[in-house]
């Protein structure tokens, strides 16, 4: 679904499971910090709005989006009580191919974690052409992709729970 015209913060609360018993991890990349902090706030608020308590949210920071993969893997291994993890980053296109390698690496890496580990990892990495696009999607005119990721994390936590029975 295209994000143009869609407010990333909007969701139907009646379709989101009650999350008060769930535990979440959030890994935040420090590159483009003004964007990733906005995304973190969106994700955190969405979890809280749906009943998650502060004590059930653990946050780790990493230097850049490329490091999200390792940290999410370590989080899966060391906090097996978590119900879902949200990986937050912001990659902005520059003049070199670095953008392509980071985007490719992080998206494939997080996909691999979802294939090989039991705790779902939500992809909340913005991949934008410029800073304005990133601002618009991290609490600006297109809403906050962090909110969307928070809701996705709750839905995946519920799916994982239901799949056990």
Query: Binding site, residues?
Result: 31, 65-67, 90-92, 95-96, 123, 137
Determine how β-strand 121-128 pairs with β-strand 84-92: parallel
For helices 68-78 and 98-116, the axis angle rounded to 10 degrees is 20
- Name the one residue in this structure whose structure tokens are 């009580």: 81
Q: Which residues are annotated as a binding site for (2S)-2-hydroxy-3-oxobutyl phosphate?
A: 95-96, 137
The answer to the question of residue 86 lying near ligand DLZ (CB under 6 A) is no
Q: Is 51 left (phi over 0), alpha (psi -120 to 50) or beta?
A: left
Please name the residues in contact with 122: beta carbons below 8 A apart, sequence gap of 6 or more. Answer: 84, 85, 86, 87, 149, 152, 153, 156
- From candidates 52, 85, 102, 121, binder to ligand DLZ by CB under 6 A: 102
The answer to the question of residue 11 lying near ligand DLZ (CB under 6 A) is no
The answer to the question of residue 89 lying near ligand DLZ (CB under 6 A) is yes
The answer to the question of residue 91 lying near ligand DLZ (CB under 6 A) is yes
Q: Which residues are annotated as a binding site for 5-amino-6-(D-ribitylamino)uracil?
A: 31, 65-67, 90-92, 123
d(CA 97, CA 35): 21
The answer to the question of residue 28 lying near ligand DLZ (CB under 6 A) is no
Query: Is the separation of the CB atoms in 50 and 155 below 8 Å?
Result: no
- Site for ligand DLZ, residues 103 to 162, rule: CB under 6 A: none
d(CA 36, CA 19): 23
Q: Which residue is nearest to ligand DLZ (CB)?
A: 64
Residue 116 known to be catalytic? no
Catalytic residues: 98
Residues that bind ligand DLZ (CB under 6 A): 29, 31-32, 63-67, 89-92, 94, 98, 102
């Amino acid at each position: 679904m295209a994000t143009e015209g869609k407010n990333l913060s909007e969701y139907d609360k009646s379709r989101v499971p009650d999350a008060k018993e769930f535990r979440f991890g959030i890994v935040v990349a420090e590159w483009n910090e003004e964007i990733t902090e906005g995304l973190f706030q969106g994700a955190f608020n969405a979890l809280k709005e749906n009943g998650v308590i502060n004590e059930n949210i653990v946050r780790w920071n990493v230097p850049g989006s490329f490091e999200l993969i390792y940290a999410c893997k370590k989080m899966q291994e060391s906090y097996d009580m978590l119900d879902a993890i949200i990986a937050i980053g912001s990659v902005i296109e520059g003049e070199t191919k670095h953008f392509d390698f980071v985007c490719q690496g992080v998206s494939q890496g997080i996909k691999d974690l979802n294939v090989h580990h039991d705790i779902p990892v939500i992809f909340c990495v913005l991949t934008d052409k410029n800073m304005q696009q990133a601002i618009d999607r991290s609490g600006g005119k297109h809403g906050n992709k962090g909110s969307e990721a928070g809701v996705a994390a709750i839905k995946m936590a519920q799916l994982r729970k239901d799949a056990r029975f």
